[in-house]
Homo-oligomer: A and B are copies of this chain.
Amino acid sequence: MSTRQIYLESLPRDEALNRLLTALDQVGWGPQTEVVPTTDALGRITAAPVRAHISAPHYNASAVDGVAVKASDTFGATETAPITLRIGVQAHWVDTGDPLPPGCDAVIMVEHVNLLDEGHGQGDRCEILAPVAPWENVRQIGEDVVATEILLPERHPIRPQDMGALLAAGVLEVPVVRRPVVTFIPTGTEIVEPKPDPAPGEIIEFNSRVILSMVREWGGQPVRANIVKDDYDLIRRAVKEAVATSDIVIVNAGSSAGSEDYTVHVLKELGQVLAHGVAIRPGKPVMLGLIDGKPFVGLPGYPVSTWLTADLFVKPLVYRALGLPVPKRPTVRASLARRITSPMGVEEYVRVKLGRVGDRLVATPMSRGAAVISSLVRADGLLVVESDREGIGEGSPVTVELLRPLSEVQETVVVIGSHDTSLDLMGSFLHRKSGYYLSSAHVGSQGGLLALRRGEAHMAGVHLLDAGTGDYNTSYVQKYLGRPALLVLLARREQGFIVPKGNPKGITSFRDLTRPDVRYVNRQRGAGTRLLLDYHLRQEGISPAQVQGYDWELFTHLNVAAAVKAGDADTGLGIRSAAQALDLDFVPVAWEEYELCIPAELESHPGVQAVLELLRDPEFLKAVEALGGYDCSESGRIRRV
């Protein structure tokens, strides 16, 4: 526990990195050479131009199966005046690759030789019907490569075919750039090695695995140090050991201010702080320094910050050590789906989902929480809000760095709207059966219709009860989308109260939600499940203020179930499959229609068609029903509104 304040600088990213790179130049830190066997050199970077040791071929070799001759012995041969040669004297059988016998300088293909005697022994003769030119059908010494020729330039990544050329030229060892050793020291008293059942307060250490995997992909040699507790002396010892054995040292601060504090003081004692605090978000508390002429990087603890700052500050070090420029991620231009605001003076990195809807590529900003590692799994790209901008307006053209191949983005059906547990299942089936990817974002039914309206998605999952008519979805689609659409039934599903095993508070009705001992957990505004609650509260004349927890909003059925499972709430309204997934009990309230709303103009999209096909696929529907609380008997039904 610590209340110490750390006052961070707010250096521009470029300046922070340049301070470190300049300091490294001054101490002569850079690529080192080692010699490795050519057969182990795949992917390594040449440290110097590589020259052929021998010529290839290294002797004059027959290029065909046939007889080797002295060309001048064949001059004048024609079909009418063939020349006869004695085998073993003037003509010598050779296979492809055989060396030319002494005195020979050409080969006649076996197809063009007439044998005059049986067998092929010494003393046989053959007949030649046409002359050959000197060196015809011969691979002369050095045809491929001449000894001393440069085979590969320096700073060249060795590919399979390069290995072949090296070996052909007798180069059995090759000077390559040594892979820099990058040691990652995880710190924090609260962090633990990955385990299936951590206790509350134990934080699973996975940043090292993420960052060191990146290091491996970049071409470095990753080394993971043991977890170090928040203790000045322990951290100092770990850093000293790492500096002695590594080219680059990373300390991953625990997430609390205290552990970060130890790290910067260790850096001050052992070396030199070059930057502490960079004007980026996430990732501000990054630390750059030099110890014994080696770069030291302190990465912040929240996983998205760790990932981003490693990309911004460790990647350039690894590539510097390899003598290569930092490769740029491919980018695309897209249209921003929703306004982003960002403080002046800070360069902000926003994760986005991309979708090709119609002929527009649309970038939808994702949650900006730095703790949510799953957002990096789902993100399609990164968008940078420059430090001199306060934000980017809706519809603006933006440049997005791709985290996923554009071809996959193009082949993705985008579903934005209400959450349903069957959507993940749909993603797996869709990809297996059609090759299309499914990307789903949970913003509630109304949010989904607005996303459709803005052209961000191909379809929206909706289950909006019209309190007036008792009908689902139709009136909302007309109101929020405002253009012709299909409503395709995914499934009927059961809504109800998610309660702990055994329903200890005996919740059976909406009236029970007003009891002082019942803590409710709600869904966000615009969610169909919230409308369902409101509908029933109105029916029963209950005011929201009477429901303890009405203002506590979570975004998915599973999050509601998790809150009940944890004991933070006694109940929440949600679908049966969420209760079943977390082994909770369920008090049914109503069956509802969960439909996919698809703008009519997208009906012919092949990915949309693949989804429609899936909704008639018995294998898929059976898997959905197995989730619990689904009735797929009419799945695939289409209504046009």
Residues of A within 8 A of B (CB): 1-3, 38-39, 42, 49, 53-61, 63, 65, 93-99, 105, 110, 120, 133-135, 139-155, 159-165, 167-168, 170, 172, 188, 190, 194-198, 200-201, 203-204, 206-207, 209-211, 213-214, 216-217, 254-258, 301, 303, 307, 325, 369, 371-374, 376-377, 424-425, 427-428, 431-432, 435, 437, 549, 551-552, 554, 556, 558-559, 561-563, 565-566, 568, 581-582
- Assembly CA distance A43 to B527 (angstroms): 37
Residues of B within 8 A of A376 (CB): 161, 164-165
Residues of B within 8 A of A145 (CB): 374
- Assembly CA distance A562 to B56 (angstroms): 10
Main secondary structure, interface of A, reads loop
Known A-B contacts A161-B210, A163-B209, A197-B170; A139 and B371 likewise in contact (beta carbons under 8 Å): yes
Partner of A427, one of B153, B198, B581: B153
- Assembly CA distance A194 to B170 (angstroms): 7
Known A-B contacts A140-B568, A562-B55, A582-B147; A431 and B153 likewise in contact (beta carbons under 8 Å): yes
Residues of B within 8 A of A140 (CB): 554, 559, 562-563, 568
Distance of A469 from chain B, by nearest CB (Å)? 34
- The answer to whether B254 touches A161 (Cβ under 8 A) is no
Residues of B within 8 A of A96 (CB): 255-257, 301
- The answer to whether B54 touches A160 (Cβ under 8 A) is no
- Assembly CA distance A67 to B57 (angstroms): 77
Residue of B nearest to A191 (CB): B97
- The answer to whether A142 touches B93 (Cβ under 8 A) is no
Residue of B nearest to A194 (CB): B167
- Assembly CA distance A487 to B283 (angstroms): 54
Distance of A172 from chain B, by nearest CB (Å)? 6
- The answer to whether B143 touches A371 (Cβ under 8 A) is yes
- The answer to whether A374 touches B196 (Cβ under 8 A) is no
- The answer to whether B431 touches A38 (Cβ under 8 A) is no
Partner of A60, one of B53, B151, B566: B566
Residues of B within 8 A of A563 (CB): 140-142
- Assembly CA distance A105 to B99 (angstroms): 85
Residues of B within 8 A of A105 (CB): 568
Give me 6 other A-B pairs in contact (C-beta within 8 A), A97-B201, A325-B435 excluded: A42-B217, A97-B254, A97-B255, A160-B210, A163-B213, A170-B195
Known A-B contacts A155-B431, A371-B63, A374-B144; A1 and B93 likewise in contact (beta carbons under 8 Å): yes
Residues of B within 8 A of A217 (CB): 42, 160
Distance of A109 from chain B, by nearest CB (Å)? 11
